[in-house]
Amino acid sequence: MSQTLCNGSGKKQVRVWVDGCFDMVHFGHANLIRQAKLLGDYLIVGVHSDEEITKHKGPPVFNQEERYRMVRAIKWVDEIVEGAPYCTTIETLDKYNCDFVCHGDDISVTADGSDAYQEVKDAGRYREVSRTQGVSTTDIVGRMLLVTKSHHKREGEDLPDKERVHQIQKDASGHSPWTGVSQFLATTKRIVQFSGGREAKPTDKVIYVAGAFDCFHIGHLTFLEKAATYGDYVIVGLHTDTEVNRYCGSNYPIMNLHERVLSVLACRHVDEVVIGAPYTVSRDIMAHFKVNLVIHGNSKVYADSVGGDPYAEPKKQEKFRLIGTESTLNTAGLVQRIIEHRQLYEARNLKKEKKELAVYEATRQDQGFKAV
Spell out the domain ranges in the chain. 15-129, 188-322
H/E segment holding residue 44? strand 42-47
Q: How far apart are CA 154 and CA 140, in angstroms?
A: 20
Sheet holding 293-296, edge to edge: 272-275, 233-238, 206-211, 293-296, 320-322
H/E segment holding residue 37? helix 27-38
DSSP class per residue in 239-250: PPHHHHHHHH-T
For the cut 70, the answer to whether the pLDDT of residue 157 exceeds it is no
Contact 16, 98 (CB under 8 A): yes
For the cut 80, the answer to whether the pLDDT of residue 345 exceeds it is no
> Which fold is adopted by the domain 15-129?
Rossmann fold (3.40.50)
For the cut 90, the answer to whether the pLDDT of residue 357 exceeds it is no
- Other Cβ atoms less than 10 A from the Cβ of 169: the count is 9
Strand segments, DSSP code E, in 162-270 are 206-211, 233-238
Contact 87, 111 (CB under 8 A): no
Mean pLDDT of 340-347: 71
The whole-number pLDDT of residue 141 equals: 76
Grade residue 185 by pLDDT with cuts at 50, 70 and 90.
low
Q: How far apart are CA 309 and CA 122, in angstroms?
A: 61
17 forms beta bridges with: 44, 101
Contact 359, 115 (CB under 8 A): yes
9-13, 85-89, 184-188, 324-328, range with greatest mean pLDDT: 85-89
Q: How many residues does the chain have?
A: 372
Higher pLDDT, 43 or 187: 43
The whole-number pLDDT of residue 140 equals: 78
Chain centroid to Cα 347, Å, comes to 22
Mean pLDDT of 152-160: 39
- Other Cβ atoms less than 10 A from the Cβ of 20: the count is 23
For the cut 80, the answer to whether the pLDDT of residue 145 exceeds it is no
Side-chain half-sphere exposure of 222, counting CA atoms within 13 A:
18
Q: How far apart are CA 101 and CA 280, in angstroms?
A: 46
For the cut 50, the answer to whether the pLDDT of residue 318 exceeds it is yes
The whole-number pLDDT of residue 354 equals: 67
Burial class (CB in 10 A: 0-12, 13-18, 19+), 255: buried
Q: What pTM did the predictor assign?
A: 0.79
* CA neighbor of 266 nearest in space, from 99, 77, 118, 116: 77
Contact 268, 73 (CB under 8 A): yes
The whole-number pLDDT of residue 20 equals: 93
The CATH label, of 3.40.190.10, 1.10.287.3240, 3.40.50.620, 1.10.10.10, for the domain at 188-322 is 3.40.50.620
Q: How far apart are CA 97 and CA 88, in angstroms?
A: 14
* CA neighbor of 61 nearest in space, from 342, 355, 351, 356: 342
For the cut 60, the answer to whether the pLDDT of residue 344 exceeds it is yes
* CA neighbor of 241 nearest in space, from 269, 216, 213: 213
Strand duo 320-322 + 15-20: pairing: unpaired
Least confident range from 93-102, 145-154, 224-233: namely: 145-154
* Alpha-carbon distances of 219 from 324, 330, 349, rounded to whole Å: 11, 6, 25
Task: Convert the pLDDT of each residue in 61-104 to its tens digit.
Answer: 899 999 999 999 999 999 999 999 988 999 999 999 999 999 98
The whole-number pLDDT of residue 4 equals: 58
Assess whether the region 15-129 and the region 188-322 belong to the same CATH fold. yes
Least confident range from 154-163, 182-191, 210-219, 356-365: namely: 154-163
* Alpha-carbon distances of 24 from 133, 155, 168, 216, 260, rounded to whole Å: 16, 30, 27, 8, 13
Mean pLDDT of 282-311: 96
Contact 48, 240 (CB under 8 A): no
Q: How far apart are CA 363 and CA 355, in angstroms?
A: 12
Task: Convert the pLDDT of each residue in 253-285 to its tens digit.
Answer: 988 999 999 999 999 999 999 999 999 999 999
For the cut 80, the answer to whether the pLDDT of residue 137 exceeds it is no
Q: How far apart are CA 264 and CA 214, in angstroms?
A: 9
The whole-number pLDDT of residue 105 equals: 78
Grade residue 201 by pLDDT with cuts at 50, 70 and 90.
very high
Kindly report the average pLDDT of the chain as a whole number: 82
For the cut 60, the answer to whether the pLDDT of residue 175 exceeds it is no
Q: Using a pLDDT cut of 70, give the percent of the chain over it.
A: 76
- Other Cβ atoms less than 10 A from the Cβ of 54: the count is 15
